[in-house]
């Protein structure tokens, strides 16, 4: 696959919802953070094309704006960018193929991102299996009853499509839909199908001073705190799969 063959541009094809547009009229920080979505998508799309032409072990990131790094001062200060640097410092220089998209719901992972991942050229067998991570579900929870009620079954479907050993973040939100979605993740983890970053018990206990101006996405400090929860799980996955 050449750098022109990736049929994906890190976008869902949808614009922001009505509630976000309305809030943007009264909370200036929302529009400032939203303005990052397009350039960050372009940056990751360009990096993906470059990464596909390079040798070495791959990290395929599936998810929403958290994996894009929206809210951080740059893509490299977001979750995936920070962790790629930390993993490299620990001796794991990975080719990052970030298929996440701002605004993505779990249905977008099932219908868009997973098929793109499955169509990628085979990984280098000498380098080791792909590291696959998933951070998704928040947009479903905050997208209205239609999307939150569908989340548990969509999470079940997504888990069934993931390669064995994928690293998936649980949903820490105290809602019935989140708890039910997490039961599918817990069950998959018990059977050894996925590894969990359990944000119910790890990650920030307080977001004071850690949110971007839209009061929804993490800022640099918030992403650094999230990275603390992810790093040991990713390192263990990489070492176990060597």
For 182-192, how does the pLDDT look when each residue is reduced to its tens digit (9 = 90+)? 999 999 999 99
Residues 6+ apart with CB under 8 A from 200: 170, 171, 172, 182
Helix (H, G, I), strand (E, B) or coil at 60: strand
pLDDT tens readout for residues 174-212: 999 999 999 999 999 999 999 999 999 998 889 999 999
Confirm whether 222 is domain-assigned. yes
Residues 62, 133 contacting (CB under 8 angstroms):
yes
Least confident of 17-26, 216-225, 230-239: 17-26
Write out the residue range of the structural domain in which residue 43 sits.
38-240
pLDDT of residue 205: 87
Question: CA–CA separation, 44 vs 114, rounded Å?
Answer: 17
Residues 3, 52 contacting (CB under 8 angstroms):
yes
How many structural domains is the chain composed of? 1
pLDDT band at residue 126 under the 50/70/90 scheme: confident
Mean pLDDT over 51-75 rounds to 96
pLDDT of residue 144: 83
Which of 160, 84, 85, 172 lies closest to 135 in space, CA to CA? Answer: 172
Confirm whether 21 is domain-assigned. no
pLDDT of residue 16: 66
Question: CA–CA separation, 237 vs 232, rounded Å?
Answer: 9
pLDDT of residue 4: 44
pLDDT of residue 26: 52
Indicate if the pLDDT at residue 216 is higher than 60: yes
Indicate if the pLDDT at residue 14 is higher than 90: no
Indicate if the pLDDT at residue 31 is higher than 60: yes
Question: CA–CA separation, 155 vs 178, rounded Å?
Answer: 10
pLDDT of residue 6: 80
Least confident of 26-40, 72-86, 155-169: 26-40
pLDDT of residue 27: 56
Confirm whether 226 is domain-assigned. yes
Give percent of the chain with pLDDT exceeding 70. Answer: 92
Which of 51, 4, 30, 83 lies closest to 216 in space, CA to CA? Answer: 30
Indicate if the pLDDT at residue 147 is higher than 70: yes
pLDDT band at residue 21 under the 50/70/90 scheme: low
Indicate if the pLDDT at residue 114 is higher than 60: yes
pLDDT of residue 2: 44
pLDDT of residue 3: 45
pLDDT of residue 43: 98
Give percent of the chain with pLDDT exceeding 90. Answer: 81
Confirm whether 8 is domain-assigned. no
Confirm whether 92 is domain-assigned. yes
Domain CATH number, residue 71? 3.40.50.1110
Confirm whether 30 is domain-assigned. no
Confirm whether 215 is domain-assigned. yes
Confirm whether 65 is domain-assigned. yes
């Amino acid at each position: 696959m050449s750098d022109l063959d990736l049929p994906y541009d890190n976008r869902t094809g949808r614009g922001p919802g009505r509630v976000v547009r309305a809030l943007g009229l009264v909370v200036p920080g929302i529009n400032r953070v939203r303005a990052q979505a397009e350039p960050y998508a372009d940056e990751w799309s360009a990096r993906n094309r470059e990464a596909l032409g390079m040798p070495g072990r791959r990290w395929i990131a599936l998810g929403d704006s958290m994996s894009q790094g929206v809210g951080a001062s740059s893509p490299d200060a977001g979750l995936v960018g920070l962790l790629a640097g930390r993993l490299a410092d620990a001796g794991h220089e990975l080719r990052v193929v970030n298929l996440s998209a701002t605004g993505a719901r779990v249905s977008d992972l099932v219908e868009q991102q997973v098929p793109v991942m499955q169509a990628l050229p085979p990984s280098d067998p000498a380098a080791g299996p792909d590291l696959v991570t998933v951070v998704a579900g928040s947009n479903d929870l905050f997208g209205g009853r239609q999307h939150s009620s569908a989340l548990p079954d969509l999470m079940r479907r997504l888990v069934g499509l993931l390669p064995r050993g994928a690293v998936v973040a649980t949903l820490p939100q105290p809602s019935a839909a989140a708890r039910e979605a997490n039961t599918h993740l817990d069950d998959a983890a018990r059977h050894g199908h996925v590894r969990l970053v359990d944000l119910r018990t790890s990650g920030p206990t307080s977001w004071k001073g850690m949110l971007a101006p839209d009061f929804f996405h993490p800022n640099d400090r918030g992403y650094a705190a999230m990275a603390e929860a992810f790093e040991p799980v990713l390192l263990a996955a990489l070492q176990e799969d060597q």
